[in-house]
Structure 1
Amino acid sequence: MPVHRSGTVQSARSRLTAAGTLLAALSLLLTLPGAASADDGTDFPERGTARMGQGVLAHDGQQGGVTPAGTTAVQTEGVDVSGHQGNVAWPTLWNSGVKWAYVKATEGTYYKNEYFAQQYNGSYNVGMIRGSYHFATPNTTSGAAQANYFVDNGGGWSRDGKTLPGVLDIEWNPYGAQCYGKTQAAMVAWIRDFVNTYKARTGRDAVIYTATSWWKDCTGNNASFGTTNPLWVARYNSTVGELPAGWGFYTIWQYTSSGPTVGDHNHFNGALDRVQALANG
């Protein structure tokens, strides 16, 4: 008697189809805001919570080095803030000598800082020169898409003498692989897509915030941005250490995450009139 296997085959196919659908759904879920797990069980923070310098202490925080050219200039104190700080005591910071500030505006194309208005306007109202920054997630959308989202949500620039050009915060991925799953060439292309779009929208070259070791690992120490984009380098030490390739000096140095009032404190490499010059373009 012949054996009929059509039902068995059909059942197996159904199970495979269901399994494929489930895997696709899980893959999509992991790319959405709030996803916080990895294959090895590692817990990641909620999307949107990333902040400037989040990975520095873990990866690059305690390494000194040779002080590069330009660090003998007068340094002007500044801070960077994000939603983690909530409502910031700007008069206290101003009275302590802080003269400029950068505020997180956006992350990816899915997050806007809920405290942005208090932080951005509050720093301006006490007399600070201020700007905004974007935390990049190169594995979620294109550089152009994120630059446009940034400009549309607080990252623009105006020639009022009090607004600094926007910052691309490109550093360790707090949600997974440190280079966001990109090759070095693909990462360079993504950064270029962002900064080119930002300049087309605002007329200004974005400042690039990064750390030297991340830049080496994830861009191959690419030297092509040093002549156009001011450098904001992260290094929590008494000296700024080695800079990424292409930059002969830093514009801003984030030197600590444990400063007074607001943790992240920075030196602008020049007197206040140099901060004003960057604001004026």
Structure 2
Amino acid sequence: MLLLRGIVSDVGLLVLFSVQLKMKLLAVTLAALSAIAFASPVLLENRAAKPHGVDVSHFQPNVNFKTLKSNGLSFVFIKATEGTTVISDTFSKQYTGATNAGLIRGAYHFAHPGSSTGAAQANFFLKHGGITLPGVLDIEYNPNGAECYGLTHAEMVSWVKSFSTTYHKATTRYPIIYTTTDWWKTCTGNSAAFGSTNPLWIARYVSAVGTLPAGWSFTTFWQYADSGPNPGDQDLFNGDMAGLKRMAKGS
């Protein structure tokens, strides 16, 4: 009997140890999944249910915006300006076409931080870009030189702040920032200074938005492809149509 009790006792301890081990493994797994969810925000809802749109420029000079509307698109961003000298020669026609087709529209400015101040480029954009959705600061890889335009991390953050505050003073709205996580980390040092004020438009051509720049817990727009069934880059609004309309009205 003493031997049997010992065997039963040992079996009980093994069962208890097994249960405790399983509980610890479950806790570790849940913690890991939680960490992944917060470190790499993704669009969790059904993409098909979200408003889709495109962004276009002079590279798409003959867009039929009524066709875009009939294809189910809801919004379009149109290039207006670049630096302090370039006004897109197709902006006016494209903006009018998008308006007449009933699309929610907005304008974007391609930044050249190495050529003039953020305030100067914001004022140039304000003078020549239409306003419905908040204007967009398109800040990304330099097409003609040094990736970060010769600016240090601190200088780049200061430049973006200059553009953003100038635009905000004129419109009471902060501009959307279009960028990639890679460029933002490389050229601003992954600054978290804009996450609480400026909506984010992230460019990433894969199946999920992935890790976002510091300061942002979600992206408002996602450029998920540079080509597709409609002209221009393919975009998604991270919300519903009612939310997109509220954003366009500034509410």
Structures share a fold, TM > 0.5?
yes
Matched ranges for 1:106-117 at <5 A? 106-117=81-92
Tell whether 2:156 aligns with 1:187: yes
Secondary structure of 2:150's aligned partner = coil
Question: How far 1:221 sits from its partner (Å)?
Answer: 0.3
Secondary structure of 2:236's aligned partner = strand
Matched ranges for 1:1-281 at <5 A? 68=41, 71-72=44-45, 74-155=49-130, 157=131, 163-281=132-250
AA aligned opposite 1:260:
P
Are the aligned partners of 1:165 and 1:207 in contact in 2 as well (CA < 8 Å)? yes
- Cα deviation, 1:140-188, whole Å, max 9, x if unaligned, reads 1100000000000114x3xxxxx10100000000011110000000000
Q: Give the distance between the partners of 1:174 and 1:164, measured in 2 at CA.
A: 26
Q: Number of matched residues?
A: 210
- Which residue of structure 2 lines up, in the alignment, with residue 58 of structure 1? none
Question: How far 1:71 sits from its partner (Å)?
Answer: 3.5
AA aligned opposite 2:184:
W
Could you state the TM-score of these two structures normalised by the residue count of structure 1?
Answer: 0.73
Are the aligned partners of 2:54 and 2:230 in contact in 1 as well (CA < 8 Å)? no
Are the aligned partners of 1:106 and 1:135 in contact in 2 as well (CA < 8 Å)? yes
Are the aligned partners of 2:43 and 2:208 in contact in 1 as well (CA < 8 Å)? no
Question: How far 1:218 sits from its partner (Å)?
Answer: 0.2
AA aligned opposite 2:153:
Q
Q: Give the distance between the partners of 2:230 and 2:52, measured in 1 at CA.
A: 13
Secondary structure of 1:245's aligned partner = coil
Question: How far 1:93 sits from its partner (Å)?
Answer: 1.1
AA aligned opposite 2:180:
A
Q: Give the distance between the partners of 1:97 and 1:68, measured in 2 at CA.
A: 26
Are the aligned partners of 2:118 and 2:160 in contact in 1 as well (CA < 8 Å)? yes
Larger Rg: 2
AA aligned opposite 1:239:
A
Percent of aligned pairs sharing the same letter: 53
Are the aligned partners of 2:193 and 2:215 in contact in 1 as well (CA < 8 Å)? yes
Q: Give the distance between the partners of 2:185 and 2:242, measured in 1 at CA.
A: 32
- Cα deviation, 1:210-261, whole Å, max 9, x if unaligned, reads 0000000000000010000000000000111110000000000000011123
Secondary structure of 2:54's aligned partner = strand
Pair 1:67–1:221, CA change in 2 (3 A): closer
Secondary structure of 1:83's aligned partner = coil
Q: Which has the higher helix share?
A: 2
Q: Give the distance between the partners of 1:204 and 1:68, measured in 2 at CA.
A: 25
Q: Which runs of 4+ in 1 moved over 3 A?
A: none
Are the aligned partners of 1:172 and 1:214 in contact in 2 as well (CA < 8 Å)? yes
